[in-house]
Each structure stands twice: as structure tokens, then as C-alpha cells.
Amino acid sequence: MNLLPKKSEEFAKTDYWNSFFKKRGEKAFEWYGEYIQLCDHIHKYVKLSDKILMLGCGNSKLSMDMYDNGFWDITNIDISPIAIKRMIDINANKRPGMQFLEMDATKMTFEDEKFTVALDKGTLDALFIDNSPETKAVIERYLKEIMRTMRNGGRYLCVSLLQEHILKYLLEFLPTNSFMIRIVYCLDAANSTAEDNNLNLVSMPVFIVVATKFTLLPSPIFEFSLDNVAMKRVKTACDLDDAVSSLQKAAIICNGLVRGNIAGYNEVSMELFKPGDNNPRYTVYILDQPPKSTLKRYAAFLVPQGRENEYLFSTPEGRKHLQESSEFQRLLIITLHRDQVYNSLAEVKEELIDSIKSVAPQGFKEMIPILSLGNEIGKRETLVTGFSQISGEFRIEEVEGENGQVMRRLIFLSNEMLVQSEALVKIIKPKGKKERKKIDIGYLACQHHVYMSTGIQMATNTCNNKNKGNVLVIGLGGGSLCTFLHEALPYVRVTAVEIDPIMLEIAEQFFELKQDDRLHVVIDDGLDFISKCKEEGINFDVVLFDVDSKDSSIGMSCPPKSFVNPAVLKNIKYIIGPKGIFLLNLACRNKTMRDDVIKVLKEIFPYICSYKIEDEINEVVYCTTNEKFQDLTNWKRMLGNAARNFNTAVKDKHLTQQDMLNISKFLNKLSL
């Protein structure tokens, strides 16, 4: 039986409500939850001694439940005589002190200041059917009657969905009339509404507006609370509006996800915050794949702290691959944020369970599996926070990776998913001394550094200790590559150029960079330095670009677009001369942009080849004017020799016991 009106306008009509209550019979109809879902909030703002006016009681059990719990001074009114008669019949003997009166709430006959509390559960929503002048006039009469019959210091409690036009009106009317406004999100009431299967109601957030009447307020007061969490004072009505609308928008998304499948479409993501916290605590990615009989329906996957930067978790492509390889039709991939404290996996699961339930497929009633790698949430420790005038706020942190390895990382918060620099931390125990941490110089976190190092080895194969290969590195980062080159290739002299002076401090203090006659850092703009070298006739055997772009909107994360300008590339061509090598770390998601960069490189350097790193967007581009590299065979021969010498060199220096790169795999994937 359809119990909801065909048009919203019917909500305001007495005939509709008479018909409604005849159809319902004895069964109570609870808009926006029952007493059990609302009692925490009611008991917070209503005292047992209050004189309570229940506006539009209908056949709701709310006033009956309140009476049974000690609220004995309750007057109920409703415009439906059928509802009032039924409520009198039900309560005459059980609750003799409670009044039920047929009355229009916009034209009440009570004396002024009779009540201390006016309670409205859905009545304002039923009256405020549209935004027309006629409806607004009705609402104004309704609220003014509440004001008239309420004592100073009294409270108007309105349980509502707070549709946009309703909230806007309340935020204008109530402060103008010296009401302090609190809005509380009622999670239990919203869940109760969603579970009323007989009504097929859309699950939307339920709120309680608590408006306290004052004789005069010097300035408006606005507060907001998520369920039973402490109230938070906000500055303006707009802030209150934003808090409400963000919950409503999230509910719309959740409703769509509950009722539909997004297989074949982009993932949906949302951030979850702790009440009163401006920083997100979790990011949730929601992915679907087409239903199959072999798939289980639903699960959530927690990414351990420190692993959110990995390809599988940090990119849409990686998350899609993870979803496709899972055995679940819908998979939530959840990352944990830095600057947040997570005490245990159990605590995280408890925090997330309501949010996870809110996007479960329709009809899913089973226990939701919450998975993680190794059944852990990982460990993250922030060593230092700082601010760079060039790159903004940063963190130096240590995270526990696979097999208990501790990684030290530099992260810029402007791009949290990008690890700017990473080093492996070893614990050493000198005899008779306390254990201490030391950076493992032989560890290269970035795969492209291995292939760039091979290019440097190739360019300097003819050098010896008396004739050192000169390498110019644009972009210091944490200095891991420069330190590695200094140790692995003793015949190389490295000059690193870094625009940000704080990066040198970070490299020296936290990544154990040490300058000497073979490793020197210059604080300068890299492009300006290259221009000066050209003007002054300073040459290098290798120029290496390992610089990230601060503009994430252009589709190329490395290098900045200005670094592949033809004028810059011509300067590099001059600096490296006819025998030198230019090495470029190119990370470009946009194929057209990537092809344009290669085209410009070919116009300047006649001989280039590249190596695309598997499962990454990075590729290392090798450029030269040396005629020895006219075809791919020569590239492979020269780079193959360099790779063998490089593998030998790092093992001779005891930087690693294994080969740094697989030579055959490397050579097979080289392309002109």
C-alpha cells in the first residue's frame, strides 16, 4: 500500500493526513527515527521539569515514550482530528496527564510564554513543501507562534532532513529573532529511516536543530555536532550550511552506490574526517567489477601506513588492477593519513564500520570482511615537520615497510602521494655502544635512478681516477642519488644544483649527504646554472634532470615543462659536447604531451633511446650527439657493457650483494 503522497504539496493538507492515519490504523508512524534513536539528544536538551509542546504529533510514539521516561508535562497538537482521537483513546488510561488537542500550529490558542520546549519531529518538513511566497508566509506564522508561546531561554527542537530551502530559511530567521542555533547530526535516526523497508525511503541524514530563545543576542551563535560528539562552534551561518550539505551530498553518493553498480566507470572516492578536525583521517576508494557467480559481494581493504604511495594503491590504474585481481564484486580501498594516530587495527575497524556499511550493496546483510596486508595497519613516525618557501609544508617520516624494513621519507604535503626522497634505514650496534640508525647508501628507492646511474657509467667508462667524469645533477632531493654515485663510482665528480636551500639541510641532516671534492651542491636555479655554464664554457660529461613539477594539472609530473624548452636543451647540447650524455627522467601520463617532449628532444639530439620502467609512468631517456649511437644495436652494446660494469662496481664497493639491474630485461625493453 502506498502511504506517501504523490505530490509534496499534499503534505500540508488536512485531508491527506486524515487519509494517512486511517490507512495506518493502530501502527505508529515514525518520521526520522523512534525515541530510542533520538533519546540521547532529547535528554541533553529537555529537562523532566520542562513544559513541552509537541507540534504535529500525528500517531507517533515519541511523546508516549517520553512520558514513560519521566517527561510528564507534554501537550500534543495536530491538525488531524482522526489522529488526535486515536491518540486520546490510546493514552486516556495509561497516560492521564498528557494532553492531545486538535489545533493548527500556525494559529495556536495558547497564552504567551506557556512552554519551555517546543518539539517538532517532521512537522516543519511537512509544512515547508516548497519555496513559494505563500509557503514562506505559512512558515513565518508557524515559527512566530512557537516564539510567542515559548519562554525566554526556551528551546525549539526540530527533527528534520534540512532540505536546502528549509535550512537557508532557518539560518536567516532564527538569528534575526535572537535564537542561538545548534545542529546535531543523528546517525542512529538516519540508519533507522533507511531500514524502513516498507516505505522505500531514501536514506538521508537526519538532524536536530536546537534553537534557544534569548531576549537579545549581541552576535549570532552557531554550533554543529556529529551525533554524540562534542559541539563545535563555527563562525558563520555559511559554515553551518557547509557542514550539513557535505553530509547530505555524501548520503546521495552512498545511496547511489547502495542501489547501483559502477563497474565500467571511474572509481568513487571520499575523505572521512573526525568531528572538529580539518585534516582527513581516511580516504576511501570504491570500485566495482561486473557481477559474477564466482565473486563474493563486498569487502574493504586497509592499506597499511607508509604503503599508500605504492603504485597498487596510489594510482587509479593500480587500484583497478587490485580490484580485478580480488575475489570481490565491490572493493573499498582505504588509506590512512599522516599526522593522524592509529592505535590498533581493531580501533581502525571500529571507526570505519558505519561508513563501510553505508556503501554496502543493497541487501548485503553479512559481516563485512575488512582485509589488510599481514593483518596490520603499519607504523609511521614523523621525525620533523617543516615548511619550504618553494615547495610548501613537508614531513620527514619513517615508516615500516615489508619484512620490517624501516624507510625514511621526505614528503611534500602539496602532493602527499609522491615520495620525494626515500632511504633505507639500518640499525647498527657498535661494540660496547648503543645501537643507532644509519642510512643504507646502497639502497636506491627510485628505479629510474638505477637506469640513470647506468647511463652515467656508460658516459664515464673511459674515465679513470686521474680523469674523473663530471656529472651535473639538476635536482638534489634528499641527495640519495648523489650520495650513491659518490660511493659507487669513485671516478665521478658530481655537481648537484638545487633551487631550494632547505633541501640541502634536509639531505645533510636526515639522509647523510656529505660534500667533498667529488660531491658539491650549488644552491641556484637549475636553468640559470645551465645558462651560466654555456656562457662560461663549462662542460660536463653527463647532465641529468631529476626534477619534479609543482604543477600537477598539466599531466607531466617530471620534469617541469620549462625544462624541455628547446633553448634549454640547446644549452645542454653545448655543455655535454659531442661525446656526452643527457639523461632525463620523464614521467608523463598524457601520451600526446609525452610524444611532444620526445619530438623536441629529437630535434636537438640526433640520437636518443628510452627505457620505460615496468608498472611506473617513469621512463629514462638517453640523449646524445655521439655518432656511435646511430642505431639500437650500438645503444644496447654500450649500455650492456655499462650495466655489467655498474653491477660489478656496486658489489665491489659492498653496497649490495645482488645485481642492481637485470641486464637482459633492461636491454630487451630499450627502444629508439
Q: Give the span between the Cα atoms of 349 and 356, in whole angstroms.
A: 9
Give how far the C-alpha of residue 261 lies from the chain's centroid of Cα atoms, to the nearest Å. Answer: 22
**Going by C-beta distance under 8 Å and a sequence separation of 6 or more, which residues neighbour residue 167?**
241, 244
Per the structure, the complete domain to which residue 268 belongs is given by: 260-375
Q: Which of residues 420, 439, 458 is at a domain's end?
A: 439
Whether pTM > 0.85 for this model: the answer is: no
Q: Quick one: pLDDT band at residue 466, thresholds 50, 70, 90?
A: very low
Mean pLDDT of 438-443: 86
**Going by C-beta distance under 8 Å and a sequence separation of 6 or more, which residues neighbour residue 533?**
472, 539, 540, 571, 575
On whether residue 2 sits in a domain, the answer given is no
**What digits encode the pLDDT tens for the residues 1-34?**
233 333 434 444 445 445 544 544 444 445 677 8
Q: Which of residues 343, 375, 407 is at a domain's end?
A: 375
**Going by C-beta distance under 8 Å and a sequence separation of 6 or more, which residues neighbour residue 183?**
162, 207, 208, 209, 210, 223, 224, 225, 240, 243, 244
Structure confidence at residue 191 (pLDDT): 63
E-only strand ranges, 289-429:
296-303, 328-336, 370-372, 380-388, 392-400, 406-412, 419-428
Query: Tell me, what amino acid is at 159?
Result: V
Are both 426 and 477 inside the same structural domain?
no
On whether residue 85 sits in a domain, the answer given is yes
Q: Among the ranges 370-379, 411-420, 526-535, 548-557, which has the highest mean pLDDT value? A: 526-535
Mean pLDDT of 371-383: 79
Are both 70 and 132 inside the same structural domain?
yes
Mean pLDDT, the chain, whole residue set: 84
**What digits encode the pLDDT tens for the residues 599-638?**
988 999 999 898 888 877 788 889 998 888 888 888 888 8
Q: Quick one: pLDDT band at residue 652, thresholds 50, 70, 90?
A: confident
Question: Measured between alpha carbons, how far is residue 651 from residues 273, 351, 447, 489 in Å?
Answer: 48, 48, 18, 11
Residue with more model confidence, 254 or 61: 61
On whether residue 331 sits in a domain, the answer given is yes
**What digits encode the pLDDT tens for the residues 168-205?**
999 999 999 999 999 998 877 766 655 444 333 346 78
Q: Facing residues of 398 across strands?
A: 381, 408
Instruction: Give the DSSP letter string of 2-68.
Output: --S-SSGGGGG-HHHHHHHHHHHTTS---TT--HHHHHHHHHHH--TT--EEEES-TT-SHHHHHHH
Mean pLDDT of 116-140: 93
Cell representation of residue 459: 658516459
Are both 432 and 462 inside the same structural domain?
no
Q: Quick one: pLDDT band at residue 141, thresholds 50, 70, 90?
A: very high
Residue with more model confidence, 342 or 252: 342
Q: Is the pLDDT of residue 550 over 90?
A: no
Q: Is the pLDDT of residue 230 over 50?
A: yes
Question: Measured between alpha carbons, how far is residue 594 from residues 254, 255, 447 in Å?
Answer: 38, 40, 19
Are both 623 and 563 inside the same structural domain?
yes
The three-point CA angle 491-497-499 to 5° equals: 165
Mean pLDDT of 252-277: 79
Q: Is the pLDDT of residue 584 over 60?
A: yes
Are both 354 and 492 inside the same structural domain?
no
Q: Say how many domains are in the chain.
A: 4
Q: Among the ranges 139-148, 274-283, 650-659, which has the highest mean pLDDT value? A: 139-148
Mean pLDDT of 400-421: 80
Structure confidence at residue 430 (pLDDT): 74
On whether residue 3 sits in a domain, the answer given is no
Query: Tell me, what amino acid is at 57?
Result: C
State the DSSP code for 404: G
Are both 461 and 610 inside the same structural domain?
yes
Q: Is the pLDDT of residue 390 over 50?
A: yes
Are both 633 and 667 inside the same structural domain?
yes
Cell representation of residue 269: 572516492
> Exposure string (b/e) for 22-49, b if CB count within 10 Å is 16 or more?
eebeeeebbbbbbbebbbebbeebbeee
Are both 385 and 492 inside the same structural domain?
no
On whether residue 1 sits in a domain, the answer given is no
Are both 545 and 600 inside the same structural domain?
yes
Mean pLDDT of 285-311: 87
Q: Which of residues 253, 273, 294 is at a domain's end?
A: 253
Are both 369 and 389 inside the same structural domain?
no
| Beta-carbon count within 10 A of 504 CB | 18
Q: Quick one: pLDDT band at residue 432, thresholds 50, 70, 90?
A: confident
Structure confidence at residue 533 (pLDDT): 92
- Return the percentage of the chain with pLDDT > 90, whole number: 31
Q: Quick one: pLDDT band at residue 447, thresholds 50, 70, 90?
A: confident
Are both 196 and 272 inside the same structural domain?
no
Backbone angles phi, psi at 621, to 5 degrees: -110, 125
Q: Give the span between the Cα atoms of 667 and 644, in whole angstroms.
A: 12
Q: What is the CATH number of the domain that holds 151?
A: 3.40.50.150
Q: What is the CATH number of the domain that holds 287?
A: 3.40.50
> Exposure string (b/e) for 269-298, b if CB count within 10 Å is 16 or more?
ebeeeeeeeeebbbbbbbbbbeeeeeeeeb
Cell representation of residue 573: 647540447
Query: Tell me, what amino acid is at 173?
Result: F
Backbone angles phi, psi at 648, to 5 degrees: -65, -45
Are both 416 and 463 inside the same structural domain?
no
Q: Could you tell me where the DSSP H helices lie in 231-339? A: 237-259, 311-314, 316-325
Cell representation of residue 14: 488536512
On whether residue 470 sits in a domain, the answer given is yes
